[in-house]
Structure 1
Amino acid sequence: MQSSSANARILIVEDDPEIGSLLALTVQESGMIATVAEDGRVMQSLLRNNEFDLIILDVMLPGEDGLSICRRIRSEKTTPIILLTALGEEIDRIVGLEVGADDYVTKPFSPREIVARIRSLLRRASYGLANNVDQRKLRFDGWQIDPLRRQLHDPSNARVALTTTEFDLLLAFCRNPGRIITREELLSLTHSGLAGPIERSIDVHISRLRQKIEVDPKTPALLHTVRLGGYMFTARVEQS
């Protein structure tokens, strides 16, 4: 993962040649490296032989659709994913987040918005690597979170895959245990900035996070919802 957006490698999965060329040009003019794949088959071949810092993935693709591809990528990799969709309904955006996307952009889009969202995700994915922040490992209920390597291990020491946003949220909670954190504060603590996930999306990401760390996600013991307040992480957190 690049420590900044300079020379970041961006994989664009888009079947419309005009949109794919526009995205590639936008990425390249911003100092990043763009590679375009027209479908999931070409994308998979590229992923086998190359490392990318971020993926822009169109939802409406020929053959395997973008949501299915996103779910498959997320089961194997933690690479940040931005979904590109012409669908404007909120339920469609929520489904995208539920299958593992970190963010989404609705067509038609502005080049400035795409670049802002790419830089936001890259900044969050590498936050702290070049900054003087506390990178000591944190432990809770047998779990271990490593801010430097951006890894989470369960009590059996198996690595648990998290999206960029899920990792940011869990790290924010571990650094603020026992405190009610509002959705607005979570956006700030995860360094999302203006280009990060909208406030409503926080709930979807937290639901996915609960699926991964709670014994019973429907009755969470670690990550509580506080009515009219936000969320509270109730586990005892220790540094190591």
Structure 2
Amino acid sequence: MADSAPRDAANWAAKIDRLQVSDPSDTHGYNVQGKRVAGPMNGFGRLWQRTYTAALGTAVTPEAVIADWRAHFGEYWPRMGRFHSSLSTLQPGDVTALTAGGVTTGVMVLYADDTSFTFLTPEGHMFAAMITFSAESDAAAHTIARISMLLRCSDPLFESMWPLARRGEDLFWPEVLRNLGRAHGVTDVTVAERTVCVDRRRLWANWRNVRHNAGIRTVAHVVRAPFRRTRPEGAP
């Protein structure tokens, strides 16, 4: 008898070798298209586990929070970043570009269900990371929204920028949770942050990741912009 597929098979992205941007009209996918995914063990720097948590009251369920978050993910970002997606709702396997801190890169949706969704980063992203967005009810029936990350800086250059990047993350993600809370009627959102260094080793075998560095490639893309030939209207 053949093995049956797992019950949650539809919640996982299909296995792929190279990423393809889900919206082919998106001009920001140049640092994502054709790249491989890069999880924490593909990075260079120290391994960190970071968590941001916020209570969103009892008026909204975890399922409603996640449904809204998946449908309007980029709308909750502060102005320092932009999520370049025209997708109606994030689905497993979706690949989309983003810009944060002036660097254009992207993410792939690895997993999504009613109470959580998870991103993997591509080669060249500042972090080689797995990032999970989730919601659950606590013992008092409050809905708790959470952003959990397991990450390494992807190459030596980005590792040297970790102190600055960490401060930026500590501004960015709490504001996302506050914006999410405001959308669900919670005007005073307190965000708790926790950071643990899981592994202080740097993976020197991965130092060559710098060739994919999205910061360098973003600058090169901008510099070359005036010299790129634009296609005539109606050209194939």
Same fold by TM (over 0.5)?
no
Q: TM-score, normalised by structure 1?
A: 0.28
> Whose strand proportion is higher, 1 or 2?
2
Q: TM-score, normalised by structure 2?
A: 0.28
- RCO higher in 1 or 2 (8 Å CA, sep ≥ 6)? 2
> Whose helix proportion is higher, 1 or 2?
1
